[in-house]
Amino acid sequence: MKIPAVKGTRDFYPPQMAVRNYLVDGWKAVSLRNGFEEYDGPIFEHLKMYQIKSGEEIASQLFSFTDRGGRDMAIRPEITPTLARMVNQQINALPRPIKWFSVPRLCRAERPQKGRLREFFQWNIDIIDVEDVLADAEVIFTAIDYLRSTGLTAADIAVRISSRRMLAALLRSAGIEQDQLDGVYAVLDKKAKLPDEAFEAMLTERIGDETVRRRVAELMAAETIEAIENTAHLDAEGAAAVGELRRLFDLLSLMGIGEFAVFDIGVVRGLAYYTGVVFEVYDRAATLRAVCGGGRYDNLLRDFGGPAVTATGFGMGDAVLEILLREKGLLTDSTLSTRNVDCFVAIVADEFRDRAIELVFRVRRAGACAEFSYKAAGLKKQLKQAQALNARYTVIVGEEFSENRLTVKNMATGEQELMAVEQCIESLLA
């Protein structure tokens, strides 16, 4: 009986693994050059950690189980709560500020669809203990820095930015009570993802008062920061949040990515722990789900039993990113090789097999990648095998080996030359 893969998961055969490595290696390189250190945590945590603070959306998407000790556990749907727990455990020993990144495997029990899987990889960037909006600007820059490295431009993508702090002040002024805010956020976050009728029904269920509901709808129609300032009654907290947003846009311009940044009050983020600046990166045509999303979460460490320490960060999943890069022609199967072979060692006759094997493993010991044919085959067939492996060179072992010389063929140009064995190995290492 053949057992299929679980729906919403992926098998990573070598070609798919090459794509995954390309994305992950790019994430790691950009993280390191922006000053972040790598961390990771367990694949499962106590269930209550997600039920308490990740909000309704994540709590409904958990793969949970009971362990042999009767404890309720969950496979991680995100890593930010794990980050908070880990930092709290060593809060007094860790140097500040904390700039960490991770590329965890995550699982969510939801309906698989385009760009949304039950199991995926996500790049996470976080800065802890920097209250200044400069930290928010830096994490946004890091996301755009990576996306630009793939070949994406401001014509392809935009980072849509808003503020939970500002939105909270606006919603309070519209008549929403403080204890209603998280529920309203969860509904507003779905506005762009639902038909108008379904969204209106959800909003009506959450906000019964028609006058308050109309005020909220008017607020969410604002297209610029100026419109917020001119049409809404802002208290001191709201005015401070607007000022913070203005400074954020100024900083992004200073960093050279101002053309990517767009104000969008509709960016709410569904997770309950966000407290300030929030943002999402979308393709300009808005045909895909968000490529990346994040924001400030100043209360999370405190809520997990630690001190009140500010934090900001984002997550970028691999599924939507791969779709976007393929649609833009920036990622094709032909551009990614599953092998990186420096040389293929071929023989002109079977009598040279032992010498070829000796040479292959000498090259490998020296630090280069060398391959050979396990089966006896003609030279022409071996050259085709070298080509299939994308070998840079084919080293041909024949009669010249008795004179300590080899024939080296450049597979890109087709040119051949005789080389001394030592010279050949030096060239391969170079």
Task: Convert the pLDDT of each residue in 8-49 to its tens digit.
Answer: 999 999 989 999 999 999 999 999 999 999 999 999 999 988
Q: Domain residue spans in the chain?
A: 14-334, 343-429
> Using one digit for the tens of pLDDT, what is the confidence trace for 133-153?
999 999 999 999 999 999 999
Among 24, 16, 10, 59, residue whose Cα is nearest residue 271? 59
DSSP helix/strand/coil, 58: helix
Task: Give residue 423's Cα distance to chain centre.
Answer: 43
Strand order from edge to edge, sheet including 63-66 = 44-46, 72-75, 63-66
Q: Which of these, 267, 272, 245, lies nearest to 133 by C-alpha position? A: 245
Confidence of residue 262 (pLDDT cuts 50, 70, 90): very high
pLDDT at 76: 95
Closest of 133, 150, 157 to residue 260, by C-alpha? 157
- Which residue did the predictor score with more confidence, 97 or 172? 97
| 58 confidence band (pLDDT: 50, 70, 90) | low
Does residue 165 or residue 182 have the better pLDDT?
165
CATH number of the domain at 14-334, please?
A: 3.30.930.10
Nearest Cα to 127, choosing from 164, 168, 94, 165? 94
Please report how many Cα atoms fall inside a 13 Å half-sphere around the Cα of residue 248, on the Cβ side: 32
Q: Provide the whole-model pTM.
A: 0.88
Q: What values do phi and psi take at 125, rounded to 5?
A: -125, 135
CATH architecture of the domain 343-429 equals: 3-Layer(aba) Sandwich (3.40)
Which of 160-169, 236-245, 329-338 has the lowest average pLDDT? 329-338
In terms of pLDDT, which residue wins out, 163 or 272? 163
Distance CA 77, CA 58 (A): 7
SS3 208: coil
**Predicted confidence (pLDDT) per residue in 272-307, tens digit:** 778 999 999 999 998 999 999 999 999 888 988 899
CA 159, CA 140: separation in Å to the nearest integer?
8
